[in-house]
Amino acid sequence: MMAVVADMIDPAFEVVEPAGIALPFLFNSPHSGVVYPRAFVEQARLDLPLLRRSEDTLVDALFRDVTGLGMTFMRAHFPRCYLDVNREPYELDPRMFEGRLPAYANTRSMRVSGGLGTIARIVGEAQEIYGRRIPVDDAIARIEALYKPYHRTLRQLMVQMQRNFGVAVLVDCHSMPSVCHRDERSKVDIVIGDRYGTSCAPIIPDIMEAELRRRGYSVVRNKPYAGGFITEHYGNPASGMHAVQIEISRALYMHEATYCASQEFENVQRDLLEVASALTKIAQLELAGLRTAAE
């Protein structure tokens, strides 16, 4: 997939709703955006191919057809290295900015320390994005223009589903590098994260894992990815809100060096759609149980 350098990101994100009968499932791809603001690219010390290292490239393409199953699909158009909506709104590193951060900014989280706050400091293997500090007003403008509308829409979709069906299920879709020297990701195809059993009813990750394993994928739960801000803050099973994260090894479906789909892309896409289809059985057979648990 080609990245685009543009003066503006308009629209910043999109929601695609099913044409027919809707089900209470929302598939969300927050990190697959490829529209890079021109001012940001000019500001960065890295070239565009390196900036793209943090993209969940093609994840939106893997999952977009869930709308044909009656599910809603949402994706960001802006890149993760420009603004990360899978963080708190103000996880900001004071070392990055000119000017004083708001008093309510979270400057001490582990994600900020690692360079991966709401406004990222690094991409890839700790490569610094910026050659100098950027204005605080720039960070606040990104949050106001992109982060807040994104989450306002995501929340509205989930609340409306919960009102209509008694439950809402969010599947947060991500990818991971196939090789990382710091952990065991290279030995795993897919990681399912449910915040160690707290963000959704067990049947949801159980079905996903069983269907993926049946298709030959190696699957683990919660390590190294238990789910980020979105999974944690939208998953509240007691109120009928369920959230689960899926991380897919990029080597399964793309050439990581070129950001292009591999010959296996359509096979992986088909398998994931079949997994999503299996989840519809929850709506048909288990929704009453999920609704009862929420009540």
Summarised one tens digit per residue, pLDDT across range 155-192 is 999 999 999 998 999 999 999 998 754 454 457 999 99
Is residue 89 a part of any domain in this protein? no
CA atoms within 13 A on the CB side of 140: 13
CA distances from 246 to 102, 139, 275 (A): 33, 28, 12
Residue 283 within any structural domain of the chain: yes
Query: Beta 35-37 vs 4-6: how paired, if at all?
Result: parallel
**Residue 207 forms part of a structural domain:** yes
- Flag whether 105 is in a domain: no
The answer to whether residue 97 is domain-embedded is no
pLDDT of residue 291 exceeding 90:
no
Q: Above pLDDT 70, what percent of the chain?
A: 93
The pTM assigned to this predicted structure is 0.94
Say if residues 251 and 178 touch (Cβ distance below 8 Å): yes
* Domain CATH code at residue 183: 3.40.630.40
Number of domains in the chain: 1
- What pLDDT shows up at residue 2? 87
Strand-pair partners of 245? 172, 193
Does residue 121 form part of some domain? no
Q: How confident is the prediction for the chain on average, in pLDDT?
A: 93
- Give the structural domain span for 164: 4-82+143-294
Radius of gyration of the chain (CA): 19
Whether 133 maps to a domain, the answer reads no
Q: What is the pLDDT of residue 27?
A: 98
pLDDT band at 268 (very low <50, low <70, confident <90, very high): very high
Cis peptide bond N-terminal to 224, omega within 30: yes
Mean pLDDT of the region 119-127 = 93
Q: Is residue 137 part of a domain?
A: no
The CB-side HSE value for 200 (13 A sphere, CA atoms) comes to 29
Q: Are 174 and 56 in contact, with CB atoms under 8 Å apart?
A: yes
Strands 72-76 and 13-16: antiparallel
